Amino acid sequence: MKGGSGSKKAGLSSLFSGLRRDPEGEAEGGRITEERLALLPLRDLVLFPNTVVPIFITAQPGMAALDEALRRDRRLFAACLKKRDLGSAPEEPWPVGTVARVVQHLRLPDSTMRVVLQGEYRGRIVGEERMDGFSLVDVAPIEAELFGDPPRPDDVALMRSAQKSFAQYAELSKKIGSETLLAVERTESPERMANLICNSSQLKPEKKVELLAISGARERLEAILDTLERENEIFGIQKNISGKVRSRMEKNQREYYLNEQIKEINRELGNAADEFDELERRVEERNPPAEALDKARREIARLRKLQPFSPEAGVLRGYVEWLADLPWSERSADSGDLEEAQRILDEDHFNMIRAKDRVMEFIAVKRLFSGGESGGYKPAGYNPADHEPTDFESEDYDPEGYNPSGDRAPEAKGPILCFVGPPGTGKTSLGKSVARALGRRFVRISLGGLRDEAEIRGHRKTYVGALPGKILQSMRKAGTTNPVILLDEIDKMSGDFRGDPASALLEVLDPEQNAGFSDHYLEVPYDLSGALFIATANSLHGIPYALLDRMETIEVPGYGENEKLAIAKRFLVPKELRENGLERARVVFSDEALSDIIRYWTMESGVRGLEREIARCIRRVARKAVAEGYGAEKPVGNFSRTIEAENLEEIMGRRKYKKDVSLREARVGVSCGLAWTEAGGATLMIESSACPGSGEVILTGNLGEVMKESARIALSFLRGGKGRPAGLGAYPYSAQDIGKTDFHIHVPAGAIPKDGPSAGVAIAASLLSTLCARAPRPGVAMTGELTLTGRVLQIGGLKEKLLAAIRGGMEKAILPADNRSEWEELDADIKEAIPVEFVEGAEEAFALLFEKTEPKKKAAKGAATDNSTN
């Protein structure tokens, strides 16, 4: 509502069509006309005439309106405020209300007012004026059309129907006093009857305002009668529903009493144990520790006292069943046959020497602990025959298990292994092979995208739908205390407001702590020391250091071309022939065809893409076999096909990848670096150019902070005139000129983030080529971190980087001298595929890159690129 002076109209639209402007009420001296009164806003309360209502006033507008009414004639206009969800403005009153008189008022100690109001007549707002803290409104009375004298029979019938419905409503609601009911029955005025019924009914404020606004007596009573009949019908439905629920509860209680009587009779007759005894027996059969057994017995004792259908009984029953289902002492026998274990590992996976050796070492250690002549722990030099029993020793003393130091006999703890390598290298399937080789159960837990700590530690059992964490769920699924648990994609976890699952794994993956693993749901320690945990990751960067420190990291590097060829022949081709219905057919891949698929249809460190391409080729062969009638008219065993390199494109379409010719072209300002990614190795083409400026370095290509630092180090190194190989000649630029030149360094494939220090020497080579206007030797890839003094430091991921150089068709690789020992451990086929040069400083690398001839003089200083070759 908008404020105004005098009785200016507020612009409110009429709420109900039944409102009329002509007043008909009678007062002393004649008809009631418009009055100017203070507005008392009421929240969720509608005041009616002929009623007395006590209210508390706490808001400042109401206090100010009350003070104004007391200064005048103790009369004000009470209107209910609209709700904000109805699209109205804040604190906007309904346009209809009741003119009321202040009968009593009392100011309370907390500065609020207790007021008793008596409603006089209904009215509506026709104008408003804003005052200091309250509003003055112009109120016009709502015309009340009364019945005739005497009233017609249908009017009398309507009043009696309203009285009857109200009496029924009072009986159902149980909230209306006998005084109000008696007043409604005795009144003969339709206006007074309507006001009393509306005031005492439990209706919504919006509905009461609607009934307050109707002017005609007949129309108003009809609306009240319709509302009361609807409320009575709702009360009847509620009573029916309550009766059904009560009946069901009585039935369940009766069944409970009968079941208890039957159980007691069975106990007296000695027939059978009840379900609680059965639960306790199941827990005892698992042979849990004393603490877990005591916990189970206490919970079963509580469960006996509860009704079966109570919510707490369901929670306790589920908890005890978890205690009964978990393996506490069951163990699977470990395989001690080293030759059989080695055969299984070699049968399932090619190469992976380091991972297989670590598993074989674990099996050998287990064999030593489980074997031996005496089978007990003895200190060094102990001889049982020399030991005399003493008085404090019991009759059950066993000299074979004697341990004078009091130490517990050692056991072989399960190692925590982490296989790290590019996707598709067989890390997950290697975990299954380890379980086969050990003769243990295998369970896989996917940690990719895990955000909630409760997924590891579980929820408290008091929560609805609570369960133990994934660790204990896996133990129950395995059924033994020593399974192989694979924690897949451990580097893909993340934390949020629900906790950090990586931190929750610290206790699980610590051999010194996981013997007493505490799950929030179980509430008793659980021994995980017998389980063999194997984690897999594509990169160590996403694993917190505290968690990484608890695991033994084993690298699973990418495969070379010869390794991929052997894997394809031994594993992938037979598997895809079997899965695509051609196992009995004579389908043969030549070595040249498989090599071409590896070179021209895949570009990866693993073999997942290779498997897809081989499957695609076999499916197309299968389609041709069906088109020729095999499988229906002819037996599949008679079908034969040899896939040669010459007909690959006919079967599989054009080649997906080609050798990047630009990496083997001599171009000024362009060098080739080698990078490691989570997907394997990759080649980086580094470009640089120069132009006159203020010494600014522009770096593009989505480079990380470390790579940007490498670029600044390379420029500072060259600015001092260092790194120039003998015979290269003087720089076309002096150190002073470099400070007046802008350099732009770009690494293509800008959508891919790049970071790391190993491109330092390659960036320096690109800048040196730009400075000297000489192209580096083509087909040479390099890697190594460059220091300000020109040293080339050791790098990681050597095998993946060399594989990337081989895939890119590079003729030579320049490596840091500190990586020589790692290079010597590589497979012979990789070392034969690409020659390498080891350097200790940038000068040696530049000498290998640039020929010892004088460069051509440039006519314009600052020319940055030259496409001529050496």
Tell me which residues are annotated as active site. 758, 801
Whole-angstrom distance, CA of residue 767 vs CA of residue 777: 14
User: Burial letters for 175-198: b for 16+ Cβ neighbours within 10 Å, e otherwise?
Assistant: ebeeebbeebeebeebbbbbbbbb
Whole-angstrom distance, CA of residue 470 vs CA of residue 447: 10
Triad 58, 63, 68: Cα angle to 5° = 165
* Alpha carbon separation from 652 to 564, 601, 623 (Å, rounded): 19, 9, 13
Give me the count of residues in the chain.
Answer: 870
854 burial type by CB count under 10 A (0-12 exposed, 13-18 middle, 19+ buried): exposed
* H-helix or E-strand spanning residue 533: strand 532-537
In degrees and rounded to multiples of 5, residue 198 shows phi and psi of -65, -35
Triad 324, 335, 344: Cα angle to 5° = 115
619 burial type by CB count under 10 A (0-12 exposed, 13-18 middle, 19+ buried): middle
Query: What is the DSSP-derived secondary structure letter of residue 145?
Result: B
Whole-angstrom distance, CA of residue 595 vs CA of residue 646: 12
Whole-angstrom distance, CA of residue 522 vs CA of residue 514: 15
Query: Strands 532-537, 416-420: parallel, antiparallel or unpaired by DSSP?
Result: parallel
Whole-angstrom distance, CA of residue 383 vs CA of residue 790: 65
Whole-angstrom distance, CA of residue 713 vs CA of residue 784: 13
DSSP string, 818-863: GGHHHHHTS-HHHHHHS-EEEESBHHHHHHHHS-SSPPPPPSSTT-
Whole-angstrom distance, CA of residue 509 vs CA of residue 415: 9
